[in-house]
Amino acid sequence: MMLQQYVVDLHIHIGRTRSGAAVKISAAPSLTLANIIRGAASTKGIDIIGVIDCHVPEVLDEIEESIHNGEAYLLEEGGIQYTGVTLFLGTEIELLDDQGQGPIHVLVFLPTIEKMRIFSDWLAMRMKNRTLSSQRIYERTKGVQMKVRELDGLFIPAHVFTPFKSLYGKGVKFSLTEILDPDLIDAIELGLSSDTSMADQIEELHRYPYVSNSDAHSLEKMAREYQMIRMKCPTFSEFRLALKQEDGRAIIANFGLNPLLGKYHQTNCAVCGGEVDEQKCQDCGSTKLVKGVADRLQELATTSEKVVERPPYIHQIPLEFIPKLGKKTLQKLRALFGTDMNIIHHVSEEDLRSVVQPSIVRAILAAREGKLLIKAGGGGTYGKVADKDKKE
């Protein structure tokens, strides 16, 4: 079988179950399993999705029902195949180590429903409410890693540089070995405010593959970050081989926000969100700060040499960031050209001009070439794409 390329987003939350019960409280109610699957295939153009609230029993029940109804089927090498998209079973959990370091968020992926049910029952004895997303587990961090390995799963620290609940933002002072077993980590998720070149300043990360995912809290946010992976077929086993770069399988490109667009890229005031100069807010004078990813990485950096061969990290601008591109125009583009992947990367300039105004066309084309001007985000507020046509 020949190797093929797949668009993969491995960090998508469920906002509500089919019955309306909350899972990720901060996520949109429209973010149901059925809507995620439909939106990934028909709107976004994603081939493989990681839904990271599959530890919830009602979610597992819905997946099993879709299999019984013939809407999906189990893949022998792991994963669930729906029409147009493959589902990987994941969960996001919160860890705090024995010494009180953390909390940090990690992603766990398991190959089968049976193994996810085993893990869910194991979690139920160690967390207060397994029907919710991103809950704290009361278990040694390395004990969690060992359980994941026992179940043939994958363990991936999530959005590792963000200021809150991340490995380097909150979990450790200098090294991941302070809290985790480095041999039981399968990949590192970069997060929205960093990219490959930034992360590679930390030498201990050179041994791991990087993944870039959306951390979607709404349907529209799916695939704002993703990776292109070369595999024989869209299965869990093939994905594991791609992380190890075996027999031609590999992550061949990461696509993500320009780090300047991330809402924690630069250090900002924790009180008013204003810009900081010499550890003090320029607007309100407060010294309470949210340390940005760029500044935190300066503290952590151990090397400036490029010694690791990585797939390219391509800065992508999601369509919702394009100035003047409203919902109605976006719907028109999707109706004519299909998925967002096609619009962002492939539709010709001539075809775009037949639908939208020239300024939007220029912005989409400039985004493809990485030439858009961006105002950096920070303190919990996303950066912005500069509107060249707007008079200051």
Q: How many separate helices (H) and strands (E) can be counted in the chain?
A: 11, 16
User: DSSP letter at 89?
Assistant: E
**Tens digit of each residue's pLDDT (9 = 90 or more) over 190-216:** 988 889 999 999 999 999 999 999 999
- Each domain of the chain, given as residue ranges in start order, spans 4-259, 319-371
pLDDT above 70 covers a percentage of the chain that reads 98
Residue written as token pair 């469920």: 14
Q: What is the pLDDT of residues 80-122, one digit of tens each?
A: 999 999 999 999 999 987 777 889 999 999 999 999 999 999 9
For tokens 């860890």, the residue is 95
Can you identify the CATH homologous superfamily of domain 4-259?
A: Metal-dependent hydrolases (3.20.20.140)
Largest alpha-carbon pair distance within the chain? Answer: 63
The Cα–Cα gap between 48 and 242 comes to 14
Q: Are 50 and 213 in contact (CB under 8 A)?
A: yes
Q: What is the pTM of this model?
A: 0.92
Question: Which structure tokens are listed for 166?
Answer: 């991340």
Structure confidence at residue 181 as a pLDDT band (50, 70, 90): very high
Percent of the chain residues topping a pLDDT of 90: 67
Of 276, 282, 281, residue with least CA distance to 295: 276
Residues 6+ apart with CB under 8 A from 38: none
Distances, alpha carbon 149 to alpha carbons 44, 87, 142, 189, in Å: 32, 20, 11, 18
